[in-house]
Amino acid sequence: MRTFVTALLASTLLMPCAHGAKKPSANGDYFVYIGTYTRENSKGIYAYRFHPADGKLTSLGLAAETSNPSFLAIHPNGRFVYSVSEGDTGAVSAFRIEPGSGKLTLLNTVSSKGAGPCHLRVDKTGKNLLVANYNSGSVASLPVKSDGSLGEASAFIQHKGSSVNKQRQEGPHAHSVNLSADNRFMIATDLGLDQALVYRFNAAKGSLTPNDPPFAKLNPGAGPRHFAFHPKETTHT
């Protein structure tokens, strides 16, 4: 098990087996979804049943066949899973979680508006999906419909520039997107620019507007990838 996860794991989600529950199901089990790069024998997203009482994982096999689902995100209601398709033609797919089996049913696939999408985040209202496109260095906001499916992008921003390491910072490479606790700001780390770019986020419109100041500059060559907010985060305007 450890070897499999180390070799294939790109993103893991853990959720109660009870559909949309805030706590584990009656038997205490969770579904675990593992995203992979579809190389060699891998075909997409795999599901496991996690037993917290003894820490064991039981394989449920392939949950959904899809190309390079290297990062996954779950809807706040626990009913839908979203996946990137990390390729030159970037795409994002929406899946419905089937109660009991944990299988994923494809709802639809839309463009991520860039190449090499590598990170996703559902906003706190559950009405928008934010995506970072690594290869092309851009970010986008996609509307989430009431049935969990995705609409075409409501916002798109192309990053510009470069940094000191010409081997991997020859241009922008957006690596992750995160939201502030109040859901009003999106911060995107860009490996190619050595910046954490700040955007004002309007959940009702799904819009992204550069903040003032528009970014925090990191050390040259730092190559920021992912980050996390402290649980006691406060936001200042």
Give 101's DSSP letter.
Answer: T
pLDDT of residue 18: 44
Highest mean pLDDT among 26-30, 164-168, 231-235: 164-168
Residue 34 near residue 8, CB atoms below 8 Å: yes
CATH entry 2.130.10.10 includes domain 67-217: yes
Question: Quick one: 111 exposed, middle or buried, by C-beta within 10 A (0-12, 13-18, 19+)?
Answer: middle
Q: 167 is written with which tokens?
A: 């081997």
pLDDT category at 233 given cuts 50, 70, 90 is: low
Give 150's DSSP letter.
Answer: B
CA 170 to chain centre: 24
Q: What is the pTM of this model?
A: 0.88
Under 8 Å CB-to-CB from 40, ≥6 apart: which residues? none
pLDDT digits (tens, 9 = 90+) for 35-84: 999 988 999 999 999 988 899 999 999 999 999 999 999 999 999 999 99
pLDDT digits (tens, 9 = 90+) for 86-97: 988 999 999 999
- Which is more confident, 189 or 87? 189
pLDDT category at 231 given cuts 50, 70, 90 is: confident
Q: 237 is written with which tokens?
A: 């305007």
Q: Which of 2-16, 23-37, 45-59, 87-101 has the lowest mean pLDDT?
A: 2-16
Provide the percentage of residues in the chain whose pLDDT is more than 90. Answer: 77
Given a cut of 50, whether residue 7 has pLDDT beyond it is no
Question: Quick one: 225 exposed, middle or buried, by C-beta within 10 A (0-12, 13-18, 19+)?
Answer: middle
Q: Where are the domains positioned within the chain?
A: 67-217
